[in-house]
Amino acid sequence: MYQNNAQNINLWTFVQNKRHIGRTMWKKQRAAKQKQQRYTKINLGLKTILNQFLSIFKKSYQKIYNKVYQAHFDGLRSLKEKLNWVSRLIGLRS
């Protein structure tokens, strides 16, 4: 009877350990999934910010590009004058 009881206890602890292992595995998997989702959200946010910045930059760059290749730019003699003019265009100087 004692041996049978010991086997029952061992079986019970075995089941409890299995359950515990399963639960910790589930917790780890859930944590990994949440971490992955967080990184995905951050990546998407960064990509969105980057794309918005690039679209703004492209528009302003296009404007500068169009104005730079006008006759006025060719009319400016020194490189310093050209740099000043371009920096005024993009708003670096007033």
Residue 45: inside a domain: yes
Read off the pLDDT of residues 46-69 as tens digits, 9 standing for 90 and up.
767 766 766 676 676 666 666 555
Residue 94: inside a domain: no
Number of structural domains (the chain) is 1
Query: pLDDT band at 1, cuts 50/70/90?
Result: very low
Helices 2-68 and 79-89 cross at an angle (nearest 10°) of 120
Determine the pLDDT at residue 72.
62
Q: What is the mean pLDDT of residues 14-36?
A: 80
Query: pLDDT band at 70, cuts 50/70/90?
Result: low
Q: Residue 82 above 50 pLDDT?
A: yes
How many Cα atoms sit within 13 Å of 77 on the Cβ side?
0
Range of the domain at 64: 2-89
